[in-house]
Amino acid sequence: MNLDDLSDFVLVASNGGFSQASRMSGRPKASLSRKVMDLERSIGVRLFERSARSVQLTEEGEMLFKSTSGPLNDIAQAVDMLRDGSAQPKGRLRVNVPFLFGLMFMGRLTGQFKSAYPEIELKVTMEDREVDLVSEGYDVVIRVNPKADSELVGTCFLRDQLLVVAAPSLLDPSTSATSPRQQSLPVVVRNAARNPATWKIGGNPCREIETKPVLELPTFTMIRDAVLTGIGAAKLSSALVEEDLAAGRLVCWGPSSAAPAEIWALHTSRRFASAKVKAFMQYLKTAFPARRG
């Protein structure tokens, strides 16, 4: 069995098909298909069910993928470490980040990181689902408040408080002669989020305000843009609104009573981190020195 053929099989399986694998790797679809067919012939087992519209792993393909994707990634990382040695970090580094973090920070971060490490080929994808590092071939993922995972290690490089913000034209109910609990504050919220009817705003003393959603939007950047029009208040990341607060386009009514969000950079714990992973992890820690406490 040819390891290159096996590696291409894992690439196709982890990306859900030949077209996606071709786009991700930059290699011709026909070449990947031929390598997988060579693997199938060499082991005498069909690994994919192919149709005009879709490609699905067979039961044998699932078994092979689950048992080989991890070891193949280990081999690739070991080779990278041998090549790197103590020299300048280099090679391809695949990173997955949440949409909001990517929109807010990754343009600047990737440019600065590439300048510092020109021999690292950085590839970034953005999505809010939890990707599987091993099976999908990622080196580092960034997650907000990640669940405990024995397979991953990393560091919290950013803590971010949610603030209750609004346009200056919107009246803070707590400053009104009428009790805040006798009014409903118009608010803008996320579609998929749990939205309690009462918001608790930190401070001395802590305040409670009854809310009434007037808009439900899919992203925090859309929520911020809506809040800027004065349509309602919102709970938003301090990093997202700091420029608007400084410019007076928004005002802060206080911190949300919720605990600050922790943003972590994670990689697999099954092996020592390669030089390129170590470089990226260290860079993230130095990029947010004032926001780690």
Domain range summary for the chain, segments of one domain joined by +: 3-82, 85-160+261-291, 162-255
Q: What is the pLDDT along the chain (293 residues), one digit of tens a residue?
A: 777 888 888 888 888 888 888 877 778 888 888 989 998 888 888 988 887 777 888 888 888 888 887 777 777 666 666 665 555 788 899 999 998 899 889 999 999 999 999 999 999 999 888 888 877 889 999 998 888 776 788 889 998 889 999 999 998 876 665 554 557 899 999 886 677 788 888 777 788 889 999 999 988 889 999 999 999 999 998 989 999 999 999 999 999 887 788 899 999 865 567 889 999 999 999 998 765 54
Pair type for strands 55-57 and 48-50: antiparallel
Taking only the tens place, the pLDDT of each residue in 14-49 is: 888 888 888 777 788 888 889 899 988 888 889 888
pLDDT score of 282: 92
pLDDT score of 67: 83
Q: Both tokens of residue 111? A: 């440019």
According to the CATH classification, is domain 3-82 in 1.10.10.60? Answer: no
Nearest to 37 by CA among 55, 63, 52, 59: 55
Under a CB-based contact definition with an 8 Å cutoff, are residues 205 and 226 in contact?
Answer: no
Nearest to 259 by CA among 148, 162, 156, 146: 162
Q: Enter the CATH code of domain 162-255.
A: 3.40.190.10
| Nearest-angstrom CA–CA distance, 39 and 33 | 10
pLDDT score of 181: 53
According to the CATH classification, is domain 85-160+261-291 in 3.40.190.10? Answer: yes
pLDDT score of 51: 76
Under a CB-based contact definition with an 8 Å cutoff, are residues 100 and 220 in contact?
Answer: yes
| Nearest-angstrom CA–CA distance, 84 and 284 | 21
Taking only the tens place, the pLDDT of each residue in 52-90 is: 777 888 888 888 888 887 777 777 666 666 665 555 788
Q: Both tokens of residue 114? A: 């590439």
pLDDT score of 182: 57
Domain 162-255 in the same topology as domain 3-82: no
| Nearest-angstrom CA–CA distance, 90 and 48 | 34
